[in-house]
Amino acid sequence: MPFCPQCQAIVVGFLASTAAVVMGWIPDGELDIHHTLLLCASSVVTASLASLILGTVMIAVIVGSQRFNINPDNVATPIAASMGDLVTLALLAWIASLLYRAIGPDPWLAPTIIVVYLLLIPVFAWVSHRNQYTRIVLMEGWTPVITAMLISSAGGLILDFAVSAYEGVAVFQPVINGVGGNLVAVQASRISTDLHRSGRPGQPPHAGHHRADGHEVCLTPWAAFCRTGGHSRTARVLLGMVVPGHLVFCYSISYLRAGHTSLTPTFLVVYNCAALLQVLVLLYAAHCMVNWMWKQGVDPDNSAIPYLTALGDLIGTGLLALAFQFLYIVGDRDSDLGD
């Protein structure tokens, strides 16, 4: 069993549920202890099971990629980012429904689950610390994971406000954040792998490597996207995937009648501009963040992607809300864009 991911998943699941309870209690001033325990137990069990399932899938994908001579950086991170939301939401809905039905007949179930998982945290931490390969992740992985949770929570607050004003935001939010998170995860993973080929964290890449791929921490956006080769070329390829990918998703949503927004030309232009801007910012942030972490002696594989995907959620949700607000102002309104 991957003890280190389990330890982190349980802690983050507990902290996330605590933050959700606090943010729900502050505006209403009411706290239902049964619902609080239900939320906490559901969150912890979901985080634990999702970590186990996704960890198993990732191992299988990486081993399969090596067998078929495929770069795992191009496959593993998008699969993890895509399946993460799907698996987590499905598990959370299923587990929460089971525990909700148990509130009346078995009120002891939720608190028992919470206590058992909390007691398992020091056990998993001790086992992880004994392993030389997971010890560094256990020691360095807390800050990015918890900070990413807080950043995503801020994005959740923006989403809650946006959905209350514009119902159509809800169906496009997973799309814009999923696409942005997948693309920036690929870029961050490729840059990190390239750096690992040249040495260890804290060591500058050798001169030829540095000139070819551009591993400066501070560089202009023009240099990050317009150089002739290296990671700039990859960034341009990833940017070129944004609009076609979003058009496919938008028309799929329209065909399945899953949304509440008509796909007018104005909507498509504004929405895709927001998506492009999100990915531009994320790719530039990935280049600067990964190289800065490497220079500081921090392994970007353990830290960069949580920050970047959480930042993608925040930026994507904010830009999506601004896009719907702009559509409302210019008069491209649907049933979900105000009266």
Q: What is the DSSP string of 36-79?
A: HHHHHHHHHHHHHHHHHHHHHHHHHHHHHHHHTT--GGGTHHHH
Q: Are residues 11 and 116 in the same domain?
A: yes
Per-residue pLDDT of the chain (339 residues; tens, 9 = 90+): 567 788 888 998 888 888 888 877 766 667 778 888 888 999 999 999 988 888 888 888 888 888 888 877 777 777 777 777 778 888 988 999 988 888 778 888 889 999 999 999 999 889 888 887 777 777 777 888 888 888 888 888 888 888 888 877 888 888 898 889 888 988 888 888 888 887 777 776 655 444 445 566 667 778 778 877 778 888 899 999 999 999 998 888 888 776 667 788 899 999 999 999 999 999 999 998 988 888 888 888 878 888 998 999 999 999 999 999 898 888 876 645 444
- pLDDT value at residue 27: 64
pLDDT of residue 116: 94
38 with 136, same domain: the answer is yes
Same domain, 43 and 132: yes
Would you state the pLDDT for residue 117? 92
Q: Is the dihedral of CA 123, 81, 318, 259 positive or negative?
A: negative
Q: Are residues 135 and 7 in the same domain?
A: yes
**For residues 211, 212, 215 and 218, what is the CA-based torsion angle, rounded to 10 degrees?**
60
> Do the domain assignments include residue 307?
yes
**Structural domain includes residue 173:** yes
Alpha-carbon Rg of the chain, whole angstroms? 21
Report how far residue 49's alpha carbon sits from residue 30's, in angstroms, rounded to the nearest whole number: 30
The CA distances from residue 83 to 53, 86, 317, 320, in Å, are 10, 5, 19, 22
Q: Is residue 105 part of a domain?
A: yes
Q: What pLDDT score does 64 carry?
A: 86
Q: Which among 116, 140, 164 is the end of a domain?
A: 140
Number of structural domains, the chain? Answer: 2
The H or E element spanning position 28 is helix 3-28
Is the residue at 339 inside a domain? Answer: no
Domain boundary residue, one of 140, 175, 194: 140
| 45, 117 Cβ separation under 8 angstroms | yes
> CA–CA separation, 137 vs 129, rounded Å?
9
Contact between residue 177 and residue 86 where contact means Cβ atoms under 8 Å apart: no
Residues 53, 111, single domain; the answer is yes
Lookup result for tokens 């560089």: 219
> What is the dihedral angle through the alpha carbons of 146, 312, 190, 228, rounded to the nearest 10 degrees?
-150
Return the ∠ at Cα 202 (arms to 293 and 217), rounded to 5°.
45
Residue finishing a domain among 140, 166, 186: 140
**132 Cβ partners below 8 Å, 6+ apart?**
none
pLDDT given at position 294: 86
Q: Does residue 154 share a domain with residue 25? A: no
pLDDT at 242: 93
**SS3 (DSSP) at 299:** coil
Position 212 scores a pLDDT of: 44
Which phi and psi angles does 218 have, rounded to 5°? -105, 115
- Number of Cβ within a 10 Å radius of residue 18: 14
Could you tell me if residue 338 is inside a domain? no
Are 126 and 162 part of one and the same domain? Answer: no
Q: Which domain holds residue 2?
A: 1-140
Domain co-membership, 149 together with 68: no
Supply the pLDDT for residue 282: 94
The domain that holds 179 is classified in CATH as: 1.10.357.20
Verify that 163 and 238 share a domain, yes or no: yes
Model pLDDT, residue 210: 47
